[in-house]
Chain A
Amino acid sequence: MTQARTILILADDDPDDRLLTREAFEEAGFAGTFQFVDDGQQLLDYLDTSRESLPGVILLDLNMPRMNGYEALSELKTDAALRRIPIIVLTTSNSSEDILRSYDLGVNSFITKPGSFGELKEVAKRVIDYWLGTVKLPPQD
């Protein structure tokens, strides 16, 4: 899968974080498409209507209205068609309970949002290098 065709979903209801995350990924060299959703429910709805072109990676905030990150995570990881999509939790939390709970629910990566934009860009670079460069994502027909 080439990066240009890759869709990256960011599930986060905070407009500032959306802006910062998008800019960080763009400046870090992400060339694919960004898709934003506000909460877990919107994420599931979006995935339901785009089964033909599933995202390469989902960036998931934990603290969201309506359906939070945990609920979304457990829905996604128990859905036979969606469970293969790598999910990276991107949250302000660094509590061990949140980390353990996320991994228990099947998350592929847990990243605490860094305090500065420079660090966020660094994180974006690594996510792009690893998830969109190094690893083989599940092939789509």
Chain B
Amino acid sequence: MSSAGQLKSLADHEEVFRLVFEAAPNGIVVVNDQGKVVLVNRQAEGMFGYSREEFLALGIEDLVPERLRGAHLHHRKGFTREPSNRAMGAGRDLFGRRRDGSEFPVEIGLTPVPSPQGMLVVSSIVDTTERTRTENELRRYAAELERSNADLRNFAHVASHDLQEPLRKITAFGERLRTHSSGTLDTKGLDYLKRMTDASQRMQVLIADLLTFSRVSLQHPPCQEVDLDQILRNTLENLEIAIAETGANIHIPQPLPPIEADRSQMGQLFQNLLSNALKFRRPGEAPEITVTARQEGATVRLQVCDRGIGFEPKYAERIFGIFQRLHGRNEFEGTGVGLAICRKIAELHHGTITALGEPGVGATFTVELPRRQPSASPS
């Protein structure tokens, strides 16, 4: 069998090997057992700035920064005594020295090759300047992010105490004023007072909700194997009063599967979704709520479905924004933080949450979470 592409002679082989050697993406420098350079490829020329002729007059230590030459010589002698393959990246913090004396970070793989001329060592060299720069940038970015997260945590703390403080006093002294001066205030005055204290109480709730949101956003949840069924039962106990008051029927057709997640955040997720389903019920009708969760491959798909007032499909995305409300304060209470918290929780668990709704028909919230958290260490 022969074809035009087949290599016919030794000379053909040599030519192909030469071409491969020259075309290699890495710089290649071959040295003899004395450390003298005996062969280089084109990449190495470009990398170090020496011509081929100049290279052949060099020892390998000439390619190492002066400050590191002593150590390099020591390592090289060790390597010559016990040669073995050393993979790329095995050496840490290696540097090359260019002809002009400048340094650049490198990664080097070493391969000993016995030959008629004695032991040759093939060094395969990658200039990691760009990668090192990117890594440093990433490190700096991560540090900045950590700092700004710390600032945010600090802000949340300040918000919880310092912003709440004056509001608490406005509310309290408003009450005192009402108790003490209701005889001297006329109807209008009392109405103003009531509006003032109502507003400050709303602000208290707003700040408390915002605080919950920021706490959730800033926490990296410690995930473990949790029983969604148990968490749902606890949530239903918490909502006992609201369920009794609205006469709601909660259907759970199948037991919920276990999942790797943060227990308290899963509780919060159920709490917010179920409170929503209870709140946005059709007037005069008992809420019918169905909760399902199924494992589908590597994903757990959780759904809370109600037959409440629903919403216009065009709002399906907007309702997850913080402080987004579709109804006036007179119709439904709330600050518009609940679903934003749900989305945050889904995202922190590397999952998603979506909503489907139709006015007057109902709403379905679907949360898809990985069964196991990608970064979680095996327990």
| A and B are partners in one complex rather than unrelated chains | yes
Using a CB–CB cutoff of 8 Å, the interface residues on chain A facing chain B are 14, 16-17, 20, 23, 63, 92-93, 95, 113, 115-118, 120
Residues B171 and A116 in contact, CB atoms below 8 Å apart: yes
- Specify which of A92, A95, A117, A120 lies most central, judged by the most chain B CB atoms within 10 Å of its CB: A117
Q: Give chain A residues whose Cβ lies under 8 Å from the Cβ of B165.
A: 14, 92
Are B176 and A92 neighbours in the complex by a CB distance under 8 Å?
no
Q: Which residue in A63, A93, A116 is a CB contact (below 8 Å) of B172? A: A116
A92-B161 in contact (CB<8A): yes
Is B164 in the interface zone, CB < 8 Å from A?
yes
Of A17, A63, A92, A118, the contact of B175 (CB 8 Å cutoff): A118
Distance to closest chain B CB from A125 (angstroms): 16
Q: How far is the CA of A95 from the CA of B173 in the complex (A)?
A: 25
The B interface is mostly helix, strand or loop, or mixed, namely helix
Tell me which residues across on chain B come within 8 A of A16, comparing CB atoms: 169, 172-173
Q: Are A93 and B176 in contact (CB under 8 A)?
A: no
With A16-B169, A92-B168 known to touch, is A117 a contact of B161 (CB < 8 Å)? no
Please measure, in the bound complex, the distance between the C-alpha atom of A23 and the C-alpha atom of B204, giving whole angstroms: 23
With A115-B201, A115-B204 given, is the CB distance from A20 to B161 under 8 Å? no
Q: Flag B163-185 by CB within 8 Å of A: 1 or 0 each.
A: 01100110111011001000000
Of all chain B residues, the one with the shortest Cβ separation from A114 is: B168
Tally of contact residues, B, Cβ under 8 A: 14
21 pairs of residues in contact across A and B, judged by CB atoms under 8 Å: A14-B165, A16-B169, A16-B172, A20-B173, A20-B176, A23-B176, A63-B161, A92-B160, A92-B161, A92-B165, A92-B168, A93-B160, A93-B161, A95-B160, A113-B168, A115-B168, A115-B201, A115-B204, A116-B175, A117-B172, A117-B173
Output the nearest chain A residue to B161 by Cβ-Cβ distance: A92
> Which A residues are in CB contact (< 8 Å) with B201?
115-116
Q: Which of A20, A92, A95, A120 contacts B164 (CB 8 A)?
A: A92
B175 touches A117 (CB 8 A): yes
Contact with A along B199-240 (1 / 0, CB 8 A): 001001000000000000000000000000000000000000
Whole-angstrom CA separation of A115 from B174 in the bound complex: 12
- CB contacts between A and B, total, < 8 Å: 36
Bound: A117/B178 CA distance, A: 11
Q: How far is the CB of A114 from chain B (nearest CB, A)?
A: 8
| Chain B residues, Cβ within 8 Å of A92 | 160-161, 164-165, 168
Q: Check if B161 sits within 8 Å of A120, measured CB to CB.
A: no
Nearest A residue (CB) for B172: A117
Smallest CB-CB separation from A95: which chain B residue?
Answer: B160
Cross-interface CB contact of A115 among B160, B161, B171, cutoff 8 Å:
B171
Chain A residue at minimal CB-CB distance from B175: A117
Q: Which residues of B contact A14 (CB under 8 A)?
A: 165
A113→B171 CA distance, assembly (Å): 13
Q: Which residue of the partner chain A has the closest CB to B215? A: A95
Report the Cα distance A118→B161, complex, angstroms.
20
With both beta carbons as reference points, the residue of chain B lying nearest to A16 in the complex is identified as B169
The minimal Cβ–Cβ distance linking B207 to chain A, given in whole angstroms, is 11
Nearest chain-B residue to A113 (Cβ)? Answer: B168
The residue of chain A having its C-beta at the shortest distance from the C-beta of B208 within the complex is A115
Q: How far is the CA of A115 from the CA of B161 in the complex (A)?
A: 12
Residues of chain B lying within 8 A (CB to CB) of residue A116:
171-172, 175, 201
CA distance A95 to B204 in the complex (A): 16
Q: Which 6 pairs show the lowest CB-CB distances between chains A and B?
A: A117-B175, A117-B172, A16-B169, A20-B172, A116-B171, A92-B161
Other than A115-B171, A117-B171, A117-B172, give 17 A-B pairs with Cβ distance below 8 A: A14-B165, A16-B169, A16-B172, A20-B169, A20-B172, A20-B176, A23-B176, A63-B161, A92-B161, A92-B168, A93-B160, A115-B168, A115-B201, A116-B175, A117-B175, A117-B176, A120-B172
A95 shortest CB reach to chain B, Å: 8
Report A-chain residues with C-beta under 8 Å of the C-beta of B171. Answer: 115-117
A93-B160 Cα distance, complex, nearest whole Å: 8
- Cα A113 to Cα B179 in complex, Å, equals 20
List chain B residues, Cβ under 8 A from A118.
175
Q: Which chain A residues lie closer than 8 Å to B169 at the CB level?
A: 16-17, 20
In the complex formed, the residue of B with least CB distance to A121 is: B175
Chain A residues, CB < 8 A from B179: 117
